[in-house]
Structure formats: C-alpha cells, structure tokens
Amino acid sequence: MPIDPIPPLPADLPPLSKLPNFDPRAVPVAGIDSHLPAVAREALVPGAIRERFRAAPAWEPEIWAERRFTDRQPALASVLVPIVMRDEPTVLLTERATHLKTHSGQVAFPGGKRDETDADEAHTALREAQEEIGLDAGRVEVLGKMPTFTTGTRFIVTPVVGLVRPGAPLRLNPHEVANAFEVPLRFLMDPAHHRRHIFEFMGVQREWFSMPYMDGRDERFIWGATAAMLRNFYRFLSA
C-alpha cells in the first residue's frame, strides 16, 4: 500500500487543528450513514470478536489516510483499541491534554510513536497505554491488528485491538491525557451514528467522519483519525 494514497495539501494550507477558531462540531453534517446495517449485537461479544480475528473474511478498509500537511519523514506509531468486556462491551477512549502541540483536546485512542526498543506494534500500543492511562498490559488480551492508517502529520498508525478486563485501575498521565471514558461498542458500530462532514478552505475540500456520543451531559466528539479507524473497524466486523 502506498504511504500517500491521498495527495498532499498545498504547502501553505495548515491542518484543520491550526485554523483560528476552527471547531469541527460547527461544520455542517453532509450525511449520515443510517442506510448501512449496524453490526449485530451477537457479533460484538468477546467470543465473536476473537473468532473474527482468528478467521477474518476478505475485506478492505474504507479509509487509508488523511491528506498530509507536512513533508517530514513518516513515523511509525500504534494505538490500542481497548474493548472493555462489560455485559455491554465498551471502547475506552481518552481526551488529550489541551497543552499538547498536536490534536490537543481531541478524543483519541491511547497510543503513540514507536520506540526502537519496542518488539512490535502491540508492544508499542500496550506501552503507550501504560504510560498515558496506567492500563496494565496484563489486563489486556491482544486479539490482533488492523491495517495502518496514515495521519496528515505523517504518522503511520497501526490500530491494535485488545480485550480489557473490567475494573482495570487507571492512572491518567496529566501531561498527556485530560480524561478517559467509555463509549458503548454497539453505538460505535452502528452507522446511524456515523456522520459525514465536508469543509472547504482556500479552495480545498476536506472530508471526515464524526461519531458524537452524549455521556450524560458531556458530548464526546469523536472525529478525524479516531473516527476513521473506528469506521474501518466497523467494516471489518460487518464484512
């Protein structure tokens, strides 16, 4: 697979997160994929997800990459897609600290750049989850990995899917993470909650998914790379 299946943006066009006063919540919804079937409840239990990784069908990710915003060398990274094995399985997500240089305040999976000492993609994802939210690797059953997703900042990200035993204590690293929360897997695997956005700036059109989730009074606005990887996970489970 080529690293840049989507052409770069003009050199003077910044990433969306750098636009003054840009709020992805304010961009109109261009469409909602309610015509697509939700993943069946029985396919979202741990045993069914294990079996899906053991004997995966032929399938293709829907989204491989974002338009790149920089000419720097690509860097390898991994994220953990942590599925908490509750009676109603959930996905554990984080809200990035607001002082970070990239993607500050955004909803994300725990994860980060690969170190030279990491054995593989799963090692990176588990190490980063330990560093960011204090999730003990011993509480995670790694099922497998998804195809890579290349971000506009030139990170080639491997999503590593794992099952997490409920009750795992978390210790958030305040330098990286402002909050951690769970969203029902069934909600995320229902395209009726997958919104498409189109935004044009300086003559260039950009598109992305969002999956807003109301957590009590708090809106968890999942969008961009995180939403794209969840969309690919939907395609994997529904193939």
- DSSP calls for 5-23: SSPPPPTTPPPGGGSTT--
- Check residue 100 and give its pLDDT: 43
Q: Flag whether pLDDT at 184 surpasses 90.
A: yes
Q: What are the tokens at 219?
A: 């809106």
Q: Which of 100-114, 121-135, 182-196 shows the lowest mean pLDDT across its residues?
A: 100-114
Please list the residues that pair with 180 across neighbouring strands: 94
Element (H, E) at 210: strand 204-210
Q: How far apart are CA 192 and CA 130, in angstroms?
A: 33
pTM (predicted TM-score): 0.90
Q: How far apart are CA 183 and CA 63, in angstroms?
A: 22
Q: Yes or no: say if 154 and 198 are a contact pair by the CB < 8 Å rule.
A: no
Q: What are the tokens at 211?
A: 């999956």
Q: Yes or no: say if 131 and 102 are a contact pair by the CB < 8 Å rule.
A: no
Nearest 10 degrees: CA dihedral of 188, 129, 22, 234? -20
- Check residue 80 and give its pLDDT: 98
Question: In the structure, what pLDDT confidence band is assigned to residue 42 with cuts at 50, 70 and 90?
Answer: very high
Question: In the structure, what pLDDT confidence band is assigned to residue 98 with cuts at 50, 70 and 90?
Answer: low
- Check residue 118 and give its pLDDT: 96
N-terminal to C-terminal alpha carbon distance within the chain: 20
Q: Flag whether pLDDT at 2 surpasses 50.
A: no
Which residues are CB-contacts of 99 (< 8 A; sequence separation ≥ 6)?
A: none
- Check residue 14 and give its pLDDT: 66
Q: What are the tokens at 32?
A: 């909602």
Report the pLDDT averaged over residues 27-40: 97
Instruction: Report pLDDT digits (tens) over 128-183.
Output: 999 999 999 999 999 999 999 999 888 999 999 999 999 989 999 998 899 999 99
Q: Which residue has the tokens 């990274």?
A: 77
- Check residue 69 and give its pLDDT: 72
- Check residue 164 and give its pLDDT: 98
Report the pLDDT averaged over residues 192-208: 86
Q: What is the mean pLDDT of the chain?
A: 90
